[in-house]
């Protein structure tokens, strides 16, 4: 059979090539290019090979020290907010009403923080926590608690974490609520007949049925918190000192503050790679968990 040759097909594919080239490949290659060079401004570049990458992974250098410290802070931050938001989200979802007008009211209230732009959230908490004019800061100080997120590292961390919990627990709660809603009534009735306690119902029915949405929630919250920039930047600006400087804040400081394009490019590549790897691990775990639950044919 003769193969039909039709070169016109190229015209259909070409626009995609162009769009992808300009939107993804060229910018990425520019970053790769920068990461191999050093610049002193004036658009003059000098070849540096893998020098920046070596420095990045070596804690004894300035760049490596800053990167690894901010990476550690970032991981700690992600773990803390996951440890708070996931159980809290489940708890909120469990205590939400199942029917009636209160459902709609709860959903709207829960959705509100999710609809507020990041920098506005930051501004809200920045003002809320101020000891002089902020409600939270003023009340805490009036109660005799010396709270000041500008000067105290722990206060700054607490503020950033509480802010993230306030902003994002709703997402976990809404996902869990959707998972809970999908459980047929018969499961609860059967559990009642089986004499299951509230805790047993949670362990045997609700938690397993929420499994998938919980994985999605953990993935989303981890990625988001790992890339967090705006809110802590607005509230603490990464301070006091470097105590709340996360990787993205460090990256912006290097790239735009010091205009060290080479270092910043190398850092952003590694940062990107970490996120991709974590994403891939989550994805693999999730798809495997899904495959495990498919019923096997002929098992009965």
- Interface segment toward other proteins; rule CB under 8 A; list 51-59, 197-205, 216-224, 270-278: 197-205
Q: Is 171 exposed, middle or buried (0-12, 13-18, 19+ CB in 10 A)?
A: buried
Strand partners, 39: 45
Closest to 140 (Cα-Cα) out of 119, 122, 162: 162
CB of 96 to other proteins, least distance (A): 22
By CB under 8 A, tell whether 8 contacts other proteins. no
List the one residue from 194, 277, 279, 290 that touches other proteins (CB under 8 A). 194
By CB under 8 A, tell whether 75 contacts other proteins. no
CB of 203 to other proteins, least distance (A): 8
By CB under 8 A, tell whether 197 contacts other proteins. yes
By CB under 8 A, tell whether 290 contacts other proteins. no
Closest to 94 (Cα-Cα) out of 172, 184, 192: 172
By CB under 8 A, tell whether 187 contacts other proteins. yes
List the one residue from 31, 140, 205, 275 that touches other proteins (CB under 8 A). 205
By CB under 8 A, tell whether 200 contacts other proteins. yes
By CB under 8 A, tell whether 100 contacts other proteins. no
| Closer residue to other proteins, CB minimum distance, 180 or 251 | 180
Q: Is the dihedral of CA 112, 79, 249, 24 positive or negative?
A: negative
Q: What is the DSSP string of 174-186?
A: HHHHHHHHTS-HH
Q: Is the dihedral of CA 181, 185, 186, 191 positive or negative?
A: positive
- Interface segment toward other proteins; rule CB under 8 A; list 129-137, 185-193, 226-234, 283-291: 185-193
| Closer residue to other proteins, CB minimum distance, 62 or 185 | 185
Contacts of residue 139, Cβ cutoff 8 Å, sequence gap at least 6? none
- The site for other proteins, by CB under 8 A, has a size of 23
Radius of gyration for the chain, computed over Cα atoms and rounded to the nearest angstrom: 25
């Amino acid at each position: 059979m003769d193969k039909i040759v039709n070169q016109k097909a190229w015209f259909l594919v070409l626009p995609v090539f162009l769009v992808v080239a300009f939107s993804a490949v060229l910018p990425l290659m520019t970053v790769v290019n920068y990461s191999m060079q050093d610049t002193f401004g004036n658009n003059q570049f000098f070849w540096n090979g893998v020098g920046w990458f070596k420095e990045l992974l070596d804690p004894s250098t300035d760049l490596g020290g800053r990167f690894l410290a901010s990476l550690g802070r970032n991981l700690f931050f992600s773990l803390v907010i996951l440890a708070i938001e996931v159980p809290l989200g489940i708890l909120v979802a469990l205590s939400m009403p199942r029917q009636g007008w209160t459902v709609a009211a709860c959903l709207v209230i829960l959705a509100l923080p999710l609809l507020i732009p990041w920098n506005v959230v930051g501004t809200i908490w920045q003002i809320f926590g101020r000891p002089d004019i902020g409600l939270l800061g003023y009340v805490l100080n009036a109660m005799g608690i010396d709270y000041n997120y500008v000067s105290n590292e722990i206060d700054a961390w607490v503020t950033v974490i509480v802010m993230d919990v306030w902003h994002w627990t709703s997402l976990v709660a809404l996902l869990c609520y959707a998972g809970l809603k999908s459980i047929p009534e018969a499961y609860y009735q059967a559990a009642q007949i089986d004499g299951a306690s509230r805790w047993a119902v949670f362990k045997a029915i609700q938690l397993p049925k929420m499994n998938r949405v919980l994985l999605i929630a953990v993935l989303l919250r981890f990625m988001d918190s790992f890339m967090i920039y705006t809110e802590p930047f607005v509230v603490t600006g990464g301070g006091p000192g470097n105590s709340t400087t996360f990787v993205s804040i460090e990256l912006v400081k290097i790239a735009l503050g010091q205009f060290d394009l080479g270092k910043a490019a190398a850092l952003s590549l590694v940062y990107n790679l970490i996120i991709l790897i974590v994403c891939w691990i989550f994805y693999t775990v999730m798809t495997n968990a899904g495959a495990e639950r498919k019923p096997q044919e002929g098992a009965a």
